[in-house]
Amino acid sequence: MVGIVMFIAALALLAIGYPVAFTFGSVSIFFGVIAALVELLPDPSLGAVTDEFLQMFSMMPFRIYSIMNNTILMAVPLFIYMGIILQKSNLAERLLEAMGTLFGKIRGGVAVSTVLVGTLLAASTGVVGASVVAMGVISLPVMLKYGYSKRLATGTICAAGTLGQIIPPSIVLIILGDVFQQPVGDLFQAAVGPGLVLVVCYIVYILILALLDKNVAPAMPPQEGGKFVNIQKALMAIVPPLTLIVMVLGSIFAGIATPTESAAVGCVGAMVLAALYRRLSLQIVEEAALETVKISAMVFAILIGATAFSMVFVYSGADYIVEDALTNLPGQKWTFLALSMLAIMLLGFFIDFIEISYIVVPILLPIADIIGLNPLWFAILIAMNLQTSFLTPPFGFSLFYLKGVCPPEVSTIDIYRGVIPFIFIQVVVLLSIIVFPGLYGFE
């Protein structure tokens, strides 16, 4: 039971705010000693315990080296850098202004524009924080100015900003590709359908709500300039990032480049785009590089701590306890899916997707293999579920990002209530993937 107690202790430390990487590292060392003591009972001499402990961790340097040498994970800092460069090039501002002129004249049009811009940002940057903050700064004041409901406005921005977790190129999908040992390109292709269905559901919900209550999302007054001028401005704002998306994702889907190679192409393309927008400078390149190093260091520090944690967890035999419990459930496949999805969703209320991906998912994978689940299908289910963690109170990151740029009249409760319908939509789409996998191309 050492591994089970270790898991609970790690969750407790994370809940009180202890740094993630240090939590996994310290907990694994502490419980590694306990596991070594238990293994050597009833004669736990200090020398024997030390030998047992060192033997258990002797492979750690090789694990760390393999992490640093992993070509799949090399795509993570490249996509982060690409997203930061695009964020600093005012891409979001241009897209929101262009979409607003096209859809603002219909009820709910600005909210629909926000969802569409969130989709384009997701497919070009994939940086949730940058997307939410940019749309919060630009789109939220516009919606509030024209009488939009605070709940609808804040919920739309949070939901649209988190689309980068499921629409490729997604950091979540890259990490899950490493955990599942599946080609990232296959995961990207498999995620396109569910991601677009989610976008359509968001838009349908907004339009229906605006139709039922004209005061929730009123239309904007007519904008200056003719229809042709507005369309021309919109195309000038949309075509450049769309070209970059086609270059990055198209090269992966066509098999021309690996995700890592296409991420490098994306970095160059992002810098070219920034130059076209006259925003490229040495200062921006330096700031983007420093920010990329910080985020990448955080991801890999968590990964190293999670590797140590999983080694001790497996060494203690806790994985067999979990496996026996979940493989002997009545209604094996469906009960396992229900429990695993529920567990991931509940954990998402309190901890980040990286910890869940490297701690919880490896425990579930062997059981999924035994049951015979399609790994791509299971990975997409987890990715969709992990996206929900960005919206769920009290610790959803998108909620904090938006609250940081909200005007004083928008309260935290408004944001919490605003995201609830979108969480429900995500759960419905998740259930549709489970019940009707054939509709999304899974067998």
Q: Which of 9-13, 66-70, 85-89, 289-293 has maximum average pLDDT?
A: 289-293
Virtual CA dihedral for 153, 159, 160, 162, nearest 10 degrees?
140
Best CA proximity match to 94, nearest among 133, 134, 129: 134
Q: Which residue has the higher pLDDT, 346 or 39?
A: 346
- Give me the mean pLDDT over the 145-174 stretch: 86
Percent of the chain at pLDDT > 90 equals 9
Residue 42 preceded by cis peptide, ω within 30: yes
Q: Among 12-26, 132-146, 222-236, which stretch is predicted with the lowest mean pLDDT?
A: 222-236
Residue 224 has pLDDT above 80, yes or no: no
Is the Cβ–Cβ distance between 188 and 168 less than 8 Å?
yes
Q: Is 302 a domain residue? A: no
Mean pLDDT comparison of 10-24, 59-73, 119-133, 370-384, highest-scoring range = 370-384
Q: How confident is the model at residue 382 (pLDDT cuts 50, 70, 90)?
A: very high
Q: Evaluate if residue 355 carries a pLDDT over 80.
A: no
What mean pLDDT do residues 229-253 have? 78
Contact call for residues 121 and 195 (beta carbons, < 8 A)? no
Q: Rounded CA gap, 419 and 160, in Å?
A: 11
Residue 53: band (very low, low, confident or very high) from pLDDT cuts 50, 70, 90 = low
Assess if residue 142 is contained within a domain. Answer: yes
Task: Tell whether 24 is covered by a domain.
Answer: no
Q: Which amino acid is at 240?
A: P
Residue partners of 2: CB distance under 8 A and separation at least 6: 31, 34, 35, 38, 316, 318
**Is 250 domain-assigned?**
yes
If phi > 0 it is left, if psi is from -120 to 50 it is alpha, else beta; for residue 181 that is left
Number of compact structural domains in the chain: 1
What is each CA distance from 17 to 11, 51, 186, in whole angstroms? Answer: 10, 33, 36
Q: Is 407 contained in some domain?
A: no
User: What would the two tokens of residue 317 be?
Assistant: 């035999």
**In the block, residue with structure tokens 């890999």:** 300
Between 325 and 371, name the one with better pLDDT.
371
Contact 319, 366 (CB under 8 A): yes
Q: What mean pLDDT is predicted for residues 246-271?
A: 84
Q: For a pLDDT cut of 70, what percent of the chain falls above it?
A: 86
* pLDDT the model gives residue 3: 72
Q: What is the mean pLDDT of residues 157-183?
A: 86
Per-residue confidence band for 200, with pLDDT thresholds at 50, 70 and 90: very high
Rounded to whole angstroms, how far apart are CA atoms 366 and 252?
28
Phi-psi region of 198 (alpha: psi -120 to 50; beta: other; left: phi over 0): alpha
Residue 365 inside a domain? The answer is no
Residue 50 or 171, more confident: 171
In a domain, 17, yes or no: no
Mean pLDDT of 109-132: 79
Domain of 218, in residue numbers: 75-293
Domain assignment present for residue 402? The answer is: no
